C-alpha cells in the first residue's frame, strides 16, 4: 500500500495557524520512514493525516493513487483497515491484555484471533501479561500491548508515534527486531515519529525532518 500526501496543509479547528504546511510525502511498501523533529514540529499531526484520521485543510491524501477523501464511507473503512496508527500514549480498553490485542481481529471476524494474538504477544516478549488488566501495566507495557494490537491485524502500513519512548534497552531491541522482520519479510511500510535519536533503531530508508509544521529536509534512497 502506498500513502502519498500532496501539498497538504492542516489547521486545527479554531486555530489561526497551520500545524502542517505544504507537505509532500510518500510512504510505500518496503519503506521505513523516520519522521524527526522537536516537540511541536507537527510529527503527530502528520502521522494522523497519513493514517487518514485527519482530513487535510488543503491538499490531497492518496491511497494507492486514489484520493482518499473523495471515496465513499465504505471505501474509506476498507482502506483504513489496511493501515494502523499507534499513539505515543495509547488507549487500552477494559478487559485483559489478550482482549485488547484480539479487539481488531474480532472486528475483522478473524477465526484464529486468540492464537494470532498470543503469537504476537510472544514475539514481543509480553505473553506473560495476557491475563492482566490495563491498570496493572506500566507505561512501557501499555505501549507494547498497543503495538501488539496493531501488529496482530497484519497492516500494510504501520504508523508509530514515539514507539520507543517508555521502553528499556532490552525492549527497544526486541521491538526493533520485530519491526525489521515485518518490513523485510512482509513488506510492511513503517513510519516512525521521534524527537530523539533512538538507540537500536530499525534501519530506515528515508528520514524526514520537520520544523514548524514544514519539511525542512528529506534524506534517503532516491532523495536528493
| Each residue's pLDDT tens digit, 19-75 | 999 999 999 999 999 999 999 999 999 999 999 999 999 999 999 999 999 999 999
CA atoms within 13 A on the CB side of 158: 28
- Per-residue tens of pLDDT for the chain, all 224 residues: 999 999 999 999 999 999 999 999 999 999 999 999 999 999 999 999 999 999 999 999 999 999 999 999 999 999 999 999 999 888 999 999 999 999 999 988 998 999 999 999 999 999 999 999 999 999 999 999 999 999 999 999 999 999 988 899 899 999 999 999 999 999 999 999 987 555 446 788 999 999 999 999 888 855 54
Give the model's pLDDT for residue 221.
Answer: 58
Looking at 55-109, list the stretches that DSSP marks H as alpha helix, in order from N- to C-terminal side.
73-80, 97-107
pTM for the whole structure? 0.92
Query: What pLDDT does 127 receive?
Result: 97
Instruction: Return the closest-CA partner of residue 198 out of 171, 159, 221, 158.
Output: 171
Write out the DSSP string of 3-37.
EEEEEEEE--TT-SS-SEEEEEEEE-TT-EEEEE-
* Residues 104, 95 contacting (CB under 8 angstroms): no
Average pLDDT, the chain: 92
Predicted local distance difference test score (pLDDT) of residue 224: 45
CATH number of 1-82+199-224: 3.40.50.300
Provide the pLDDT for residue 111: 87
Amino acid at each position: 500500500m502506498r500513502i502519498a500526501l500532496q501539498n497538504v496543509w492542516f489547521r486545527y479547528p479554531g486555530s489561526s495557524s497551520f500545524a502542517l504546511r505544504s507537505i509532500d510525502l510518500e510512504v510505500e511498501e518496503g519503506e521505513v520512514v523516520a519522521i524527526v523533529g522537536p516537540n511541536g514540529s507537527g510529527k503527530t499531526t502528520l502521522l494522523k493525516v497519513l493514517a487518514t484520521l485527519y482530513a487535510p485543510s488543503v491538499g490531497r491524501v492518496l491511497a494507492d493513487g486514489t484520493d482518499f477523501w473523495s471515496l465513499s464511507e465504505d471505501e474509506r473503512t476498507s482502506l483504513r483497515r489496511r493501515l494502523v496508527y499507534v499513539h505515543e500514549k495509547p488507549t487500552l480498553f477494559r478487559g485483559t491484555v489478550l482482549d485488547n490485542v484480539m479487539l481488531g481481529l474480532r472486528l475483522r471476524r478473524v477465526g484464529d484471533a486468540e492464537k494470532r494474538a498470543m503469537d504476537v504477544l510472544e514475539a514481543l516478549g509480553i505473553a506473560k501479561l495476557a491475563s492482566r488488566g490495563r491498570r496493572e501495566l506500566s507505561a512501557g507495557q501499555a505501549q507494547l500491548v498497543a503495538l501488539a494490537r496493531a501488529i496482530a491485524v497484519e497492516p500494510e502500513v504501520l504508523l508509530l508515534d514515539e514507539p520507543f519512548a517508555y521502553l528499556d534497552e532490552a525492549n527497544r531491541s526486541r521491538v526493533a527486531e520485530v519491526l525489521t522482520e515485518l518490513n523485510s519479510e512482509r513488506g510492511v511500510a513503517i513510519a516512525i515519529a521521534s524527537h530523539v535519536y533512538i538507540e537500536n533503531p530499525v534501519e530506515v530508508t528515508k528520514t524526514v525532518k520537520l520544523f514548524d509544521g514544514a519539511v525542512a529536509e528529506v534524506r534517503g534512497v532516491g532523495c536528493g
